[in-house]
Amino acid sequence: MSAVGGMFVGRRDRRTVDPRRGVCLGRPVHARPEPLERASPGVDRAAGTVGGGPMARDDRAGPHLPGVENRLDGRAGTVVQTGVIRGDVHIHAERTAAPVPRQLPMGTRRFTGRTAESAWLDAVVADASPLPALAVVSGTAGVGKTALVVAWAHRVVDAFPDGQLYVDLRGYGPEQPVPAHAALAGFLRALDETGSESDTTLEDRAARYRTAVSGRRLLIVLDNAASEEQVRPLLPGASSSVVVVTSRQPLTGLAVQYAAKLLSVGRLPAHDAVELLEKSLGERVSREREAAASLARRCTGLPLALRIAAEHAADRPTLPLTALAAELDDERTRLDVLDSGDDPRSAVRTVFSWSYHRLGDADSGLFRALGLHPGYGVDAYAAAALMGIGTDTGHGAGTGHRTAVALLMRLARAQMIAESAPGRFDIHDLLRVYARELGEALDDDTARQASLCRLFDYYLHTADRADRVLNRHRYRMPLDGVPSPGPRIDDYGDALSWLDEERRNLVALCRLDRPELDGRRWQLAYVLRGYFFLTKRWDDWIETHSLALAACRRSGDRGAEATTHNNLGRAMLERGRHDEAAEHYACALRLYEEVGDRHGLSDMLANRAVMLRGQGKYAEALRDNHRALDFYRQEADARKIAITLRAIALNELGLGRFADAVRHVEEALDGFLDLDLHQEAAKGFSTLGLVLHRAGEDDRAQEAYLRALDVARRCGSTYEEARALHRLGAVAAARHDTEAARCHWTQALALYQGLGTAKADRVAADLATLDR
């Protein structure tokens, strides 16, 4: 307080005034002061005048009025205190400009990618009038939510002339979350709103905050929020401000109540992940581009993991990136490598733990169990099997399924997994490794083994249900384990869709090198053989059966070993690896004879006949076909009778016996159509067309190929569709219809190339002949 022209002038104060003594007290006055006769409330800080002349104390003031107390309360730029005033008070001063807060933290250097996400945030700004715009940016731990928002915010600061407010709400981290009451106090101080400490309730402070930001255009960043409750008091009322919230939770309650826009931030795509490494490591990435891509894959595109890996590489400049990527290959030590040292915010495992420890018991139990899953997408049925809650009978959505859905949805909201498609959830590799670590540390080994067996049984028996729809009348073997509830598979489309979606999980289960699963592993490979034959996934077929073969040998199951050799031989034959196919057939023959399995022996003979036909040994192939056919007729196996008749027709075609070939293939087609074996029928019509074309009956051949094309498309067999198109092109070429031939062969080439089969080269060669 200072004396100016006989007056006491105080700045920005709120105290009780004693006009008789001309002092400002820090407490109420209980004396009997005399009133101010007249005073102008106008405050304008400059030179002061009182009644047109110097102000002086008037000792002749009248008597004190009982019960009168002069108080000056509230907020003012300048406070005048005096005794009796005669005339007006005019004080002139410049108005102090409101402070402009600039609270954004420093952005991340070498920020990479996120173009689409930044554009999404730009669109939020355009929606900020007349009510505040509210956006929630969510994502899993370490995905770079804060880096994205802060980098974007620095770019758009000019759009917010009244400033930027920022607070780390510490929703996830080593410290306790920041209460909204404390966050509001910080914001009010930044806005030069004093006196907020006297607001004793959260509601009072929030109201003062809404008043302070009203009419201003601010960018307000609420980083690392724990919940909707933590955020709500920090939202402005009526203003053109923009609020951006980051959280590991999607905070859907804000969307429901305030129409907040929600953005889920995923991991970086491969090219952006490599670019991030390149910005940190420069020419090393240019020199070792493949190693950098491998390193990015090991880090699953997670920006935190990528930055830690880059720092490790920078600290070891002579270490090849291939060596660093190799250090991350071992899942048992991967999270140890992705630890930057003493900073808990820069260690992947620690950052994950902050989310994990917020889970409930049931949620955390499922998360740990997911460490046992192959990791290529999980549905509620698989989750129920893992948890042992799939006790419903039948198939469809029972109580166990509904419980599993609720658990998965809670894990998704906690950003521990992500819903990649309706009802299907993904867990990225680093989180899966973390889940496995926790499971090994916290859960009983026996319980974990039981969970894994239940999971395997779910996939094994559901795959068998699907195969029974795709390959009806196929010879079946008893399966280990107990079926558990699964999705409804009522028709061909259901079966094919489920197998397509779960293929990677099914193949990965065959890789589980655990003795207690050996029986299930070879049985799963056996069940998948029909699907692989239909879709021509030769690599999956060979891998699963090679793994199954090792499992059979370890378990000592000679019959299973024979069956696996037989099926593996057929896969090698389809791949054109004839010598390996012959070795597998020889092993199968020996083992089938050893165990006395006539059915298996007949299957092997039928498969070996295919190999012999490919070698031009038609007579030898016919002998094997007829031996197999005799057994199938004894067993009344209609499906295999029809398949063998078709094979016989192909060998007769090779020997030039066209009439016999047509008779046998037509008999085979009758069998396929009676049994509704659509893929086999498509192949049969193609065989009939081939025989007729070779016999010079092109009209009938074309008709047969068109039937093959129609059936192949209806049953979803891309391979048979390509075969029919290829052969239709041959008929058109024989008729010198170049345009029709080109059209058919171009379509066939695209389909074969999509399947990755060598047949594409043959079609390409045929196309080339049209340009000669």
- For residue 235, the model assigns a pLDDT of 94
Exposure b/e, 544-567, CB count within 10 A at least 16 = b = bbebbbebbeebebbbbbbbbbbb
- For residue 559, the model assigns a pLDDT of 96
Nearest to 639 by CA among 670, 607, 601, 598: 670
Average pLDDT over residues 251-257: 92
629 Cβ contact list (under 8 Å, min separation 6): 641, 644, 645, 648
748 Cβ contact list (under 8 Å, min separation 6): 722, 723, 725, 726, 729, 763
Average pLDDT over residues 566-576: 92
Q: Which of 36-50, 506-520, 572-586, 656-670 has the lowest mean pLDDT?
A: 36-50
Cβ–Cβ under 8 Å, residues 606 and 628: yes
Average pLDDT over residues 593-600: 94
Question: What would you report as the CA-atom Rg of the chain, rounded to the nearest whole angstrom?
Answer: 40
Q: How far apart, in whole angstroms, are the C-alpha atoms of residue 506 and residue 523? A: 12
Cβ–Cβ under 8 Å, residues 307 and 296: no
State the span(s) of the chain assigned CATH 3.40.50.300: 115-264
Residue 577 clears pLDDT 50, i.e. is over it: yes
Nearest to 691 by CA among 661, 714, 671: 661
Nearest to 674 by CA among 521, 472, 485, 486: 472
**409-444 per-position pLDDT tens digit:** 999 988 888 888 899 999 888 888 899 999 999 999
Average pLDDT over residues 719-743: 95
**316-326 per-position pLDDT tens digit:** 888 888 888 88
> To the nearest whole percent, how much of the chain has pLDDT over 70?
84
Q: How far apart, in whole angstroms, are the C-alpha atoms of residue 652 and residue 568? A: 26
Residue 526 clears pLDDT 50, i.e. is over it: yes
Q: Which of 352-356, 451-455, 689-693 has the lowest mean pLDDT?
A: 352-356
Average pLDDT over residues 127-156: 88
Q: Which of 179-188, 297-306, 395-404, 420-429 has the lowest mean pLDDT?
A: 395-404
Query: Residue 395 CA to chain centroid, in angstroms?
Result: 27
509: phi then psi, degrees, rounded to nearest 5: -65, -35
- For residue 396, the model assigns a pLDDT of 57
- For residue 365, the model assigns a pLDDT of 95
- For residue 91, the model assigns a pLDDT of 55
**682-718 per-position pLDDT tens digit:** 999 999 999 999 999 999 999 999 999 999 999 888 9
683 Cβ contact list (under 8 Å, min separation 6): 646, 708, 720, 723
Angle at alpha carbon of residue 317, lines to 311 and 323, rounded to 5° = 85
Task: Label residue 22 left, alpha or beta by phi (over 0 means left) and psi (-120 to 50 means alpha).
Answer: left
> Would you call 718 helix, strand, or coil by DSSP?
helix
Q: Tell me the three-class secondary structure of 409-467, residue by residue.
A: HHHHHCCCCEEEECCEEECCHHHHHHHHHHHHHHCCHHHHHHHHHHHHHHHHHHHHHHH
- For residue 32, the model assigns a pLDDT of 40
Q: Which of 46-60, 371-385, 613-627, 742-756 has the lowest mean pLDDT?
A: 46-60
**176 secondary structure, DSSP code:** P
Nearest to 387 by CA among 416, 402, 376: 402
Pairing verdict, β 219-225 and 242-247: parallel
Q: How many helices (H) and strands (E) does the chain have?
A: 32, 14
Confidence of residue 536 (pLDDT cuts 50, 70, 90): confident
Cβ–Cβ under 8 Å, residues 176 and 232: no
Residue 379, Cβ density class (10 Å: 0-12 exposed, 13-18 middle, ≥19 buried): buried
Cβ–Cβ under 8 Å, residues 305 and 352: no
**340 secondary structure, DSSP code:** -
Provide the mean pLDDT of the chain. 85
Better-predicted residue by pLDDT, 468 or 197: 468
184: phi then psi, degrees, rounded to nearest 5: -65, -40
Q: How far apart, in whole angstroms, are the C-alpha atoms of residue 573 and residue 592? A: 20
- For residue 9, the model assigns a pLDDT of 39
- For residue 390, the model assigns a pLDDT of 64
- For residue 254, the model assigns a pLDDT of 94
Q: How far apart, in whole angstroms, are the C-alpha atoms of residue 416 and residue 19? A: 67
Q: How far apart, in whole angstroms, are the C-alpha atoms of residue 618 and residue 616? A: 6
Q: Which of 67-76, 374-383, 530-539 has the lowest mean pLDDT?
A: 67-76
Nearest to 479 by CA among 507, 495, 456, 508: 456
Q: Which of 79-88, 376-385, 407-416, 632-641 has the lowest mean pLDDT?
A: 79-88
Nearest to 683 by CA among 692, 674, 672, 693: 672
Better-predicted residue by pLDDT, 37 or 504: 504
Average pLDDT over residues 58-64: 44
Sign of CA dihedral 84, 90, 96, 98: positive
Nearest to 435 by CA among 349, 354, 370: 370
Helices 678-694 & 658-675 angle (0-180, nearest 10): 160
- For residue 392, the model assigns a pLDDT of 52
Q: What is the pTM of this model?
A: 0.70
> Would you call 161 helix, strand, or coil by DSSP?
coil
**765 secondary structure, DSSP code:** H
Confidence of residue 64 (pLDDT cuts 50, 70, 90): very low
Q: End-to-end CA distance of the chain, in Å? A: 104
Confidence of residue 62 (pLDDT cuts 50, 70, 90): very low
- For residue 89, the model assigns a pLDDT of 56
Pairing verdict, β 7-10 and 79-81: antiparallel
Nearest to 479 by CA among 464, 499, 500, 498: 464
Better-predicted residue by pLDDT, 241 or 52: 241
> Would you call 625 helix, strand, or coil by DSSP?
helix
Q: How far apart, in whole angstroms, are the C-alpha atoms of residue 536 and residue 453? A: 29
Confidence of residue 281 (pLDDT cuts 50, 70, 90): confident
- Tell me the CATH number for domain 115-264: 3.40.50.300
